[in-house]
A and B are shown apart, each in its own frame.
Chain A
């Protein structure tokens, strides 16, 4: 229910000969029919409603009926027609500085004014010191009020009035009190009261004040209600326009108000050529490409940051890979050059270490691994050892991951370095996983410990966030916007949509939910400079609950952006997590069932006009970073050729 309801209020004001005339004059004029009382409507059919916590700004030129309306609301006047209904107590602060008694002291006036405002004596006793402190009149407490300067008077008036704790607070030009410093203080105080839940009505000739503070605006002109609503900026704009045009007539005001609302530029339909949903790599690259081709692009992301899963966050001068380790590697010179336009990549090489129950092995499986495992020294010996183990297993055509792994690296390595880790990673036995996953595990008979077999590799200095920000420079981005929840509204803004979210979610999971693999991270800041001496250490036994620990500082060789040492370190324990709908999806599960379901969704997507589905989630496809960038570049080129 509304706190204040003003319904169709009209107030007839009287003016004319009756003021300050004596009885003789009155009788004479009555007798000669010369007695004129002009009645006019100070307010006509004013209707508005306020809820708890609302802040209403009343605007209008002089004589618009603002103060009269306030008098009706505060009960000083009665509306001639209509009704004012309010719930709760009202404190009206109208023309503050008047109404004091010049002969009484500041202290006495404070009490008298407080009493008028409805405070109790007890409350005043409690707050008196605060009032004096706020008004900065400590040395004047026992001086007669008339000795104060006008600024001091206003300050005192405001300070007393601002102790109110009303349900409805009426402020008539009271915020423009005192000097600059005090004005600032008083505005802060007012905001405090308002934030305390009071419903506030503010009459102000400062449009800026109304724009900044109010959530509703009532525009009165010559007693008539020109506009009322929550679109404060627009109503203020109209009023400004009315003032600018210089014709102070009711008709002019109504004229201005009846003009169709110009659609703000950014909301005009088709303003954007592309609405990109998701500010991850795919979206950012596409947006950059589109903007570079002169298209207008709006990027929205439901997360509060850009970058999607490559987002890095700075903690203790360390760029923390929030959604897991990302090491950029590619063979595609085009992509490598492309990303280096936006960030400087360092020479980081991925050389993870495996920790199997305290035994440390090199990953990928290279001569160091084999030497540690079997004591072999030459590549020939290593190859012989692997061959022996493979032959012993007798696998010719691997049917699952376990067989595939054994056929690649033999049983020892499989048992110690592959089995436990992979099972933790996928949450199911290796014998039930498809063989192709492990094809990606490089095995080499060299001492090269570079995990990736890639021409170009590195991590952007300053983290991936800097890379994505570089891509999105000059592109409008709205974060924290859930496209799926505001679909109609957002669709209306752009000609075309580039959707990089989960494809099944786009269709409301109408064919069923696609499955994902998810990760969980436990990140902590440690008060030591070096926790594990490597960016990633995989825990390959089945019993350690986490799959690996990432020590983020080593992506940048333990240095901050300026090359300085960092006394602390940040580590993230990575866990594989059973994915449930609603969790962050990390990797698509490309098994038969999900692939088939995706195919159905892809067919639906093909029918969606003006929507491009892209990226890891939009295409339900495992993309490395370079691949997703390449895909976005290709798509952009195809789209905008």
Chain B
């Protein structure tokens, strides 16, 4: 795989470039749009929910931003990833290239987007007066796990999407549900402990929670928390790889 990555590095670079150009070429604001969009969303949410939840949750804007930041990265990467096989059918039916390159390229794009917003996020953090501690370095861990997780989900989705086109709509619904269940704009502290534990099943919630713990509470989550995140990512990634491997030569028939 590593060898292949080296071999296909040039193609990979070109694919990333292509995805970027495709995304921003026709818009006036270009790259700024991808910054503006989550900030506007944040603004709306802040306006709407601060009155509802803001009083019980300290640093509510940052709290909200954490959720938005992580969740938009997740949904950006996976929604974009879903179409990578179908969208590149005209290529891989004619040239023998590894199909995961298309997905990885989309993920790189989503990651760059994420990092940009992350910078803005840190500006907000500074503005909010929250202290930057060495613990911020720990944020690399959830980002790393989330990348793997996104790739895994993207693989599963893109494979499923080849077989069932309605996966697209189902996933839209699913993402919406997932967003509500990720405690992005509300606080779960009020729920009973068992319900709180149920939230831990949601991997996206884990990543959001990790961010909040480091940034707002300046505490490092437990080792178990770390392992749980890694396990989630590993399971999904393994499932995705398995599907790609199994259906690698079958995709051809469906596109």
Number of interface residues of A (CB under 8 A): 36
B18 adjacent to A101 (CB under 8 Å): yes
- CB of A46 closer than 8 Å to a CB of B: no
Counting CB contacts under 8 A, is B222 at the interface?
no
Q: Which residues of A in the span 69-92 have a Cβ within 8 Å of any Cβ on B?
A: 71, 74-78, 90, 92
Residue of A at shortest CB range from B249? A78
The smallest beta-carbon distance between B47 and chain A, in angstroms, is 36
State A20–B96 Cα separation when bound (angstroms): 24
Q: Which residue of B lies closest to A98 (CB)?
A: B90
Taken residue by residue from 3 to 19, chain B's Cβ proximity to chain A (1 for < 8 Å, 0 otherwise) reads as 00000001101110110
**Does residue A23 face the partner (Cβ distance < 8 Å to B)?**
yes
Neighbouring B residues of A112 by C-beta, 8 Å: 11, 14-15, 17-18
Q: Given the interface contacts A76-B94, A92-B94, A115-B10, does A108 sit within 8 Å of B21 by beta carbon?
A: yes
Residue of A15, A23, A74, A78 touching B253 (CB-CB under 8 A): A15
Contact flag A24-B90 (CB < 8 Å), given A76-B96, A77-B249, A120-B10? no
A374 within 8 A of B: no
Count of chain B residues near A, Cβ 8 A: 30
Return A484 CB to nearest CB of chain B, in Å. 52
Q: Residue A246 at the B interface, CB < 8 A?
A: no
Contact residues, A112-171 vs B (CB, 8 A): 112, 115-121
- Closest Cβ–Cβ distance, residue B91 to chain A (whole Å): 5
Given A101-B18, A104-B18: A74 in contact with B96 (beta carbons within 8 A) = yes
A92-B94, A112-B15, A115-B10 as given contacts; A76 in contact with B252, CB under 8 Å: yes
A95 touches B18 (CB 8 A): no
Q: Given A18-B254, A22-B164 in contact, is the A92-B10 Cβ separation under 8 Å? A: no
**Residue B51 at the chain A interface, CB threshold 8 Å:** no
The verdict on B246 contacting chain A, using a C-beta distance below 8 Å, is no
Closest Cβ of chain B: how far from A576's Cβ, in Å? 69
B166 interface residue (CB < 8 Å to A)? yes
Q: Hey, which chain A residues are within 8 Å of B91, CB to CB?
A: 99, 116
**Is A622 engaged at the interface, CB distance under 8 Å to the other chain?**
no
- Quick check: B10 and A121 within 8 Å, CB to CB? yes
* Chain B residues whose CB sits within 8 angstroms of the CB of A99 once the complex forms: 90-91, 94-95
Question: Whole-angstrom distance between the alpha carbons of A74 and B95 in the complex?
Answer: 8
* Contact indicator A103/B94 (Cβ below 8 Å): no
Task: Answer whether residue B27 sits at the interface, using C-beta atoms and an 8 A cutoff.
Answer: no
A628 CA to B15 CA, complexed, in Å: 80
Alpha-carbon distance A370/B41, docked complex (angstroms)? 127
Which residues of the other chain, B, contact A14 by a CB distance below 8 angstroms?
A: 250, 253
Of the candidates A20, A101, A119, which one forms a contact with B165 in the assembled complex, judged by CB atoms under 8 Å apart? A20
Give CA–CA (A26, B18) in the complex, Å: 35
Complex contact A19–B254 (CB within 8 A): yes
> Is A13's beta carbon under 8 Å from chain B?
yes
Distance between Cα atoms of A94 and B252 in the complex (Å) = 15
Cβ < 8 Å to A, chain B residues 150-179? 163-167, 170
* A-side contacts of B14, CB under 8 Å: 111-112, 115
- Asked if A92 and B96 sit within 8 Å, CB to CB, the answer is yes
Cβ-defined contact, A103 with B26, below 8 A: yes
Task: Judge if B219 is at the interface, Cβ distance under 8 Å.
Answer: no
Q: Is B92 an interface residue (CB 8 A)?
A: yes
Q: Assess the B166–A23 pair: CB atoms within 8 A.
A: yes
Contact A18 B10 (CB under 8 A): no
**Bound-complex Cα distance A99 to B89 (A):** 8
Complex CA gap A94/B167 in Å reads 31
Are the CB atoms of A119 and B10 closer together than 8 Å?
yes
Cross-chain contact A94 with B253 (CB below 8 angstroms): no
Across the interface, which residues of A come within 8 angstroms of B249, CB to CB? 77-78
B135 interface residue per 8 A CB criterion: no
CB nearest to B163 among chain A residues: A18
B133 contacts the other chain (Cβ, under 8 Å)?
A: no
**Which residues of the other chain, B, contact A98 by a CB distance below 8 angstroms?**
90, 94
- A103 near B21 with CB under 8 A, answer yes
Complex contacts, A71 vs chain B, CB 8 Å:
93, 252
- Check B22 for interface membership: any CB of A closer than 8 A: yes
Q: In the complex, what residue of chain A is closest to B11 when comparing beta carbons? A: A115
- Taken together as a complex, chains A and B put the C-alpha atoms of A624 and B95 apart, in Å, by 72
The residue that A95 contacts in the complex, of B26, B94, B252, B253, with Cβ under 8 A, is B94
Partner of B92, one of A76, A104, A117: A76
Known contacts: A19-B254, A92-B96, A103-B26. The answer to whether A26 contacts B164 by CB under 8 A is: yes
**With A and B bound together, what is the CA distance between A108 and B19 in angstroms?**
12
CB distance from A129 to the nearest CB of B (A): 18
| A111 to B254 alpha-carbon distance, docked (Å) | 28
B97 within 8 A of A: yes
* A75 to chain B: closest residue by CB: B96
Docked-complex contact B166 and A24, CB < 8 angstroms = yes
List residues 202-255 of chain B with CB under 8 A from any CB of chain A.
249-250, 252-254
A26: which B residues are within 8 A, CB to CB? 164
Q: Mark A392-417, 1 if CB is under 8 A from B, else 0.
A: 00000000000000000000000000
- CA distance in complex: A20, B21 (Å): 29
Closest chain-A Cβ to B48's Cβ sits at a distance in Å of 35
Bound CA–CA A76/B91 (angstroms): 11
Name B50-97 residues within 8 Å CB distance of A: 90-97
B97: contacting residue among A20, A95, A116, CB under 8 A: A116
Closest to A120 in B: B10
Q: Closest A residue to B92 by CB, please name it.
A: A76
Residues in chain A near residue B93, CB distance under 8 A: 71, 76, 94
Contact of B95 with A92 in the complex, beta carbons under 8 Å: yes
Q: Which residue of B has the minimal Cβ distance to A172?
A: B94
List of A residues within 8 angstroms of B170 by Cβ = 23
Complex CA distance for A103 and B250, rounded to whole angstroms = 29
Does the CB pair B22–A103 fall under 8 Å? Answer: yes
Q: Which residues of A contact B163 (CB under 8 A)?
A: 18
* Chain A proximity mask over B88-110: 1 for CB below 8 Å, otherwise 0: 00111111110000000000000
Q: Which residue of chain B has the shortest Cβ distance to A94 in the bound complex?
A: B94
In angstroms, how far is the closest chain B Cβ from the Cβ of A158? 14
Q: Which residues in window 117-169 of B have CB below 8 A to A?
A: 163-167
Query: Taking CB as reference atom, which chain A residue is nearest B25?
Result: A103
CA gap between A22 and B161 in the complex, in Å: 10
A22 contacts across to B, CB distance below 8 A: 164-166
In the complex with contacts A18-B254, A19-B254, A99-B90, A117-B164 CB distance below 8 A: no
Which residues 564-600 in A have Cβ within 8 Å of B in the complex?
none
Q: Who on chain A is nearest to B93 by CB?
A: A76
From B10, B17, B165, B250, A108 is in contact (CB under 8 Å) with B17
Beyond A18-B254, A101-B18, list 18 extra A-B contacts (CB 8 Å): A18-B163, A21-B164, A22-B164, A22-B166, A23-B164, A23-B170, A26-B164, A74-B96, A75-B96, A76-B92, A76-B93, A78-B249, A94-B93, A94-B95, A99-B94, A104-B21, A115-B11, A117-B95
Pairs across A and B, CB under 8 Å, 28 listed: A14-B250, A18-B163, A20-B165, A21-B164, A22-B164, A22-B165, A22-B166, A74-B96, A76-B92, A76-B94, A76-B252, A77-B249, A77-B252, A92-B94, A99-B94, A99-B95, A103-B21, A103-B22, A104-B18, A104-B21, A104-B22, A112-B15, A115-B11, A116-B91, A116-B95, A117-B95, A119-B10, A121-B13
Return the 10 tightest CB-CB contacts between A and B, nearest first.
Answer: A115-B11, A22-B166, A75-B96, A115-B14, A99-B90, A94-B94, A78-B249, A14-B253, A112-B14, A116-B95
User: Which residues of B does A touch, CB under 8 Å?
Assistant: 10-11, 13-15, 17-18, 21-22, 25-26, 90-97, 163-167, 170, 249-250, 252-254
